[in-house]
Amino acid sequence: MKKPNSRIRHCRLQYAPILSLLMASIALDLQASERDPNSELETVTVTASRHQQTIGRLAASLSIVDNEDLQQVLHTHINESLARIPGVWVGRGNGQESLPAIRSPSLTGSGSCGAFYIAEDGVPVRPVGFCNVNQLFDTNSEQAERIDVLKGPGNALHGSGALHGVINVITTTPLETGENTLSLEGGPHNYSRIKISHNNAYDSGAYRLNFNTTNDGGYKDDSGFDQQKLSLRHEYKSTDLTISSLLHLSNLNQETAGYVVGFEAYDDKDRKKENPNPEAYRDSQSARLQTRIEKQLGNNSSFIVTPYIRHSDMEFLMHFLPGTPVEQNGQDSIGIQTSYIRPVSEKLTLTNGFDAEYTDAYLKQDQQGGFSSFPSGKQYDYEVTAKVAAAFVDGSYDLSSDTIITAGTRFEHISYDYDNHMRSGDTAEDGRICVNGFTGALGCRYSRPEDRSDSFNNWSVSADIVHQLSSQTTAIVRVSHGFRPPQATELYRLQAGQLTADLDAEEIDSFELGLRGSVGDTKYQLTGYYMDKSNVIFQDSSRLNTDSGETQHYGVEFEIYRSFGDTLDLTINGTFARHTYQSDVTTPVSGGTAIIATKDNDVDTAPRHMGSVQLGWQLASDTRAELEWVSMGKYYTDIDNLHSYDGHDLFNLRLRHQFSRKISAGLRVTNLADTDYAERADYSSFSGDRYFIGEPRSLYADLRMSF
């Protein structure tokens, strides 16, 4: 048995008192209750508009992973659940790391994060300008009520970050009666997870406390993680006032396994558990407190205000960079969202409001040993404060009983104040000039600008039509424009002597057509889209941050559900798409020679097709099985389209049995066919083909008890 890492072992002991306290609280309140199976309401969402709307009125391409699916999948990583959404791919790194893609390639490097609006109950988990590609692990998706995914640019209520789409994790609503549950899970390489949920109610409100703690010993050598998440949601309701508050706390201590290098290394049985970076780690903590206050006013109007505060802190070894430096970063932010919804007439409803946010953030980077142009000691040490102010208006007009027109616009201003705590320029910490051991060039790899301020003003617009062709068929037309301001790291974390990054906001123009409806026992949704993105930020062959890139994205997405009586049901979702460069792009290679990616080349890590199929079988009234097929198409791993990954097909089997009203159990087998595959493939000009290798066939079991 693998000996637990000291970092993880310490974390386990640290959270033991919390677990004991939560167990004790459940023991004090053993009010058993069951959900009423007849209390299902028409699905509503707040993801697209902040106030409740039925999905039938929305033009946005919104897909939902509901609670039934989440309970069936019981994902150990969120990519297992989001595989059920067409056009979405969350590439799994190691542990809880991820690279999301929504109608996009898997974005990496400069210009990568910040293209997706990641939220929990509508509030982004990270402040504007300070994204992290792994920020999905800051949500309690493991105990969510559902996950909403809006594909394509967001609308006037989203603003920065909703360039390619929105992922909104909806926390579990407190019940009006008491409920307590305990779930125990076990799996390979010492995997274990405990979930605890405590619900209580009183005359005018209710609260729910969700807590989970996970330990994974790691399939790879010297890997694994410990993670804890706590969500406390409180609901208060009166005749005309609703207050919903959420406290979220999370902690991750991870021993990270890096890329395995070598052509098709994932197909080598002797290398599957290889970890080239046993020293790598990631420690991350986050805390958020938000309160949504909705006041019903006269004339069917309402006012919604959501103040929030956030804190995050992270330290990790950058095993993917020469010299393996350590990065520390953190953000403290406070903000507010507002919406005023009022019916102007029987046909026209307007929503307008303003959002504001203030952030104080820092970043440090250092490494122990120096070589060539990589200096030892501190390489970056700076602080950035950011202010965001936005105003928006959105209108919905019922042109007829069959047609709804919606249009909106948003203006957003963001300003950065950057304070460098080190010497400016591309010297070492003590002022020493670095000398490149290969070329003899002077100057250290990392550059630090002088103190400065930057600001950006951006507009987003959207307009759409929802037309009811028949009682069972709806057509949708949508045009939208989104933006993403430069992130602080792209402006101030520079290289190769660059002291000013003259960047503008990335912008995207989108057009989509959709058709959704039902035919007998079959429900479907079909969407075609076309998007042009400009001012794409990337790092050129001289390692300078620039915004001269252009890309094009177009494709077709489909969702089909069919039931076959009370026994079988079939769900099919998929996408066929192309993501191409629309301008020449360069990339650094060993010795300084540049490779040119010509116009119309595929963007790297952009599969042309992907999807999944779920076949459900109700074996008995209390037993359900599901066979899932997840298909990933071929994609290029370099911008010149000279190297590629062939894709893969995975099968997963899940079985759940309800022993009684209070006890259920489940088994699930991932990678049923024991396929050799890569979770993510990449090509580096320095090391060649490299992979995050997928895990072999694995068996997980769980037991859920209600009290």
Task: Give the integer Cα–Cα distance in Å for 245 and 120.
Answer: 12
Task: Give the integer Cα–Cα distance in Å for 646 and 637.
Answer: 10
- Closest among 484, 516, 490, 514 to 502, alpha carbons compared: 490
Find out whether 122 and 376 touch, Cβ atoms under 8 Å: no
CA 345 vs CA 239, 342, 393, 406, 464: distances in Å? 24, 9, 16, 15, 20
Element (H, E) at 94: none
Task: Give the integer Cα–Cα distance in Å for 371 and 367.
Answer: 11
Region 346-373 average pLDDT: 95
Whether residue 589 is predicted with pLDDT greater than 80 in this model: the reply is no
Mean of the per-residue pLDDT values of the chain: 90
Task: Give the integer Cα–Cα distance in Å for 25 and 19.
Answer: 10
Whether residue 33 is predicted with pLDDT greater than 50 in this model: the reply is no
Phi, psi of 175 (to 5 degrees): -85, 165
Whether residue 258 is predicted with pLDDT greater than 60 in this model: the reply is yes
CA 471 vs CA 23, 48, 59, 359: distances in Å? 50, 24, 17, 48
Task: Give the integer Cα–Cα distance in Å for 476 and 470.
Answer: 13
Q: 592-626, pLDDT tens digit by residue?
A: 445 455 788 999 999 999 999 999 999 999 999 99
User: Which pLDDT does position 1 carry in this prediction?
Assistant: 37
Q: 48-60, pLDDT tens digit by residue?
A: 666 677 777 777 8
Region 512-540 average pLDDT: 93
Least confident of 35-49, 65-79, 302-316: 35-49
Residue 12 burial (C-beta neighbours within 10 Å; 0-12, 13-18, 19+): middle
Percentage, residues of the chain above pLDDT 70? 91
Whether residue 14 is predicted with pLDDT greater than 70 in this model: the reply is no
Q: Which two tokens stand for residue 244?
A: 């919903």
User: Which pLDDT does position 587 carry in this prediction?
Assistant: 54
DSSP state of 374: B
Residue 328 region by backbone torsions, left for phi larger than 0, else alpha for psi between -120 and 50, else beta: beta
- Closest among 559, 532, 472 to 87, alpha carbons compared: 559
* Structural domain contains residue 325: yes
User: Which pLDDT does position 170 carry in this prediction?
Assistant: 96
User: Which pLDDT does position 24 carry in this prediction?
Assistant: 36
Whether residue 312 is predicted with pLDDT greater than 60 in this model: the reply is yes
Dmax over CA atoms of the chain, in Å, equals 75
User: Which pLDDT does position 596 carry in this prediction?
Assistant: 52
Task: Give the integer Cα–Cα distance in Å for 694 and 273.
Answer: 10
Task: Give the integer Cα–Cα distance in Å for 12 and 213.
Answer: 9
3-state helix, strand, coil in the chain (%, to 5): 10, 55, 35
- Which residue type does 219 have? Y
Region 176-186 average pLDDT: 93
Q: How many CA atoms lie within 13 A of 126 on its CB side?
A: 32
CA angle 292, 295, 299 (to 5 degrees): 145
Give the number of domains in the chain: 1
Task: Give the integer Cα–Cα distance in Å for 478 and 474.
Answer: 13
Region 19-29 average pLDDT: 36
CA 649 vs CA 72, 570, 571, 629, 702: distances in Å? 20, 18, 17, 7, 26
584 pLDDT tier (thresholds 50, 70, 90): confident
More confident residue, 561 or 35: 561
Its domain, for residue 696, covers: 6-706
More confident residue, 338 or 50: 338
Element (H, E) at 20: helix 6-27
* Structural domain contains residue 256: yes
* Structural domain contains residue 700: yes
Whether residue 537 is predicted with pLDDT greater than 70 in this model: the reply is yes
Whether residue 35 is predicted with pLDDT greater than 80 in this model: the reply is no
500 pLDDT tier (thresholds 50, 70, 90): very high
87 pLDDT tier (thresholds 50, 70, 90): very high
Find out whether 424 and 394 touch, Cβ atoms under 8 Å: no
Find out whether 528 and 558 touch, Cβ atoms under 8 Å: no
- Closest among 133, 117, 193 to 666, alpha carbons compared: 193
- Closest among 191, 223, 226, 186 to 9, alpha carbons compared: 226
User: Which pLDDT does position 387 carry in this prediction?
Assistant: 98
Length of the chain: 707
Q: 428-446, pLDDT tens digit by residue?
A: 999 999 999 888 899 999 9
Q: 135-144, pLDDT tens digit by residue?
A: 999 999 999 9
pTM, two decimals, is: 0.91
Whether residue 546 is predicted with pLDDT greater than 80 in this model: the reply is yes
Q: Which two tokens stand for residue 158?
A: 């989203």
Task: Give the integer Cα–Cα distance in Å for 275 and 282.
Answer: 15
User: Which pLDDT does position 36 carry in this prediction?
Assistant: 35
3-state SS track over 264-295: CHHHCHHHCCCCCCCCCEEEEEEEEEEEEEEE
559 pLDDT tier (thresholds 50, 70, 90): very high
Q: How many CA atoms lie within 13 A of 704 on its CB side?
A: 20
CA 352 vs CA 49, 291, 304: distances in Å? 11, 19, 10
Task: Give the integer Cα–Cα distance in Å for 598 and 580.
Answer: 10
CA angle 546, 547, 553 (to 5 degrees): 135
CB atoms within 10 A of CB 172: 17
352 pLDDT tier (thresholds 50, 70, 90): very high
Residue 338 sits in a domain whose CATH number is 2.40.170.20
* Structural domain contains residue 75: yes
Whether residue 88 is predicted with pLDDT greater than 80 in this model: the reply is yes
Q: Please give the radius of gyration of the chain, using alpha carbons only, rounded to the nearest integer.
A: 25
Find out whether 365 and 374 touch, Cβ atoms under 8 Å: no
DSSP state of 13: H
User: Which pLDDT does position 597 carry in this prediction?
Assistant: 59
Whether residue 39 is predicted with pLDDT greater than 50 in this model: the reply is no
More confident residue, 93 or 289: 289
Element (H, E) at 168: strand 165-171
Whether residue 111 is predicted with pLDDT greater than 70 in this model: the reply is no
* Structural domain contains residue 301: yes
Q: 656-706, pLDDT tens digit by residue?
A: 999 999 999 999 999 999 999 999 999 988 889 999 999 999 999 999 999
Beta bridge partners of 659: none
* Structural domain contains residue 1: no
Task: Give the integer Cα–Cα distance in Å for 626 and 616.
Answer: 4
